[in-house]
Amino acid sequence: QSALTQAASVSGSPGQSITISCTGTSSDVGGYKYVSWYQQHPGKAPKLIIYEVNNRPSGVPDRFSGSKSGNTASLTISGLQAEDEADYYCSSYTTSSTVVFGGGTRLAVL
Amino acid sequence: QVQLQESGPGLVKPSQTLSLTCTVSGGSISSNDYFWSWIRQPPGKGLEWIGYIYYRGTTFYNPSLKSRVTISVDTSKNQLSLKLSSVTAADTAVFYCARMSTVTLDFDIWGRGTLVTVSS
């Protein structure tokens, strides 16, 4: 299985909105609603911020939102804050009952 | 609150078998609602899913690692284990255990991770 495709980096200014895309295939992203997103700060474990494409776990700010169209899922962060600077990973369940991650996107808040 | 804690040797020699344990506290590994997973992250690189197990023993592995990986559970100790054989320097990584919902198929709780270095 191949990793999902994410841009290596993205940047934005405080208060702005950014979108991170995650492209897979019909065997993963396009085939299921089981797309999730994770935020990882340096030296820390990843944290779930979006599950089932567009649902936020309790405690995750509503500035974080997710969507999907075809084989591409997206994470949007609105009202960027300095604390949002981190690495972001998408993940999808697959038709083989396995899991695949994206390569990760580093967000810089300038 | 459920917590996960990885443990095991921080240094493994090439060609040997890497063995790690994840202890689950604050909840039962025998829950019908969760799979239990291993995920790794080489230094400076992205996340790689290794595999997951249901408490009754059903396992699913990353095809690229399947020939070298064994994941098991010990319900009496509330632990899951990972064995990765024939390791090389490319297997150097932070290894995480994570809880995976059987309903939403996401990793909602993670351990802090443990760094394993493969070197002679």
Give residue A1's pLDDT.
78
**Chain A partners within 8 Å of B39 (Cβ):** 101
Per the CB < 8 Å rule, is B49 touching A99?
Answer: yes
Q: Are B91 and B118 in contact (CB under 8 A)?
A: yes
Q: Report the amino acid identity of residue B119.
A: S
Q: B51-96 pLDDT, tens per residue?
A: 999 989 899 999 999 999 999 999 999 999 999 999 999 999 999 9
Give residue A104's pLDDT.
98
If one counts every other C-beta atom within 10 angstroms of the C-beta of residue A69, the result is 10
A91 to chain B, closest Cα gap in Å: 8
pLDDT band at B29 (very low <50, low <70, confident <90, very high): very high
- Residues in chain A predicted with pLDDT less than 70, given as ranges, are none
Per the CB < 8 Å rule, is B106 touching A102?
Answer: no
Q: Are B107 and B97 in contact (CB under 8 A)?
A: no
Per the CB < 8 Å rule, is A38 touching B108?
Answer: no
A-B CB pairs within 8 A amount to 64
Q: Are B79 and B11 in contact (CB under 8 A)?
A: no
Give residue B109's pLDDT.
98
Average pLDDT across chain B, whole number: 97
Strand B18-25 relative to strand B79-84, pairing: antiparallel
A29 to chain B, closest Cα gap in Å: 13
Give residue A106's pLDDT.
98
Average of pLDDT values for B97-117? 97
Angle at B66 between CA B52 and CA A87, to 5 degrees: 60
Average of pLDDT values for B38-47? 98
Give residue B110's pLDDT.
98
Round to whole Å and give the CA distance between B109 and B3. 7
pLDDT at residue B50 greater than cutoff 90: yes
**Chain A partners within 8 Å of B107 (Cβ):** 36, 38, 46, 48, 91
Q: Out of B60, B101, B106, whose CB is closest to A97?
A: B60
Tokens (6 digits) for B33: 């609602």
B110 to chain A, closest Cα gap in Å: 7
Percent of chain B exceeding pLDDT 70 equals 100
Per the CB < 8 Å rule, is B106 touching A51?
Answer: yes
Strand B114-118 relative to strand B11-12, pairing: parallel
B89 to chain A, closest Cα gap in Å: 20
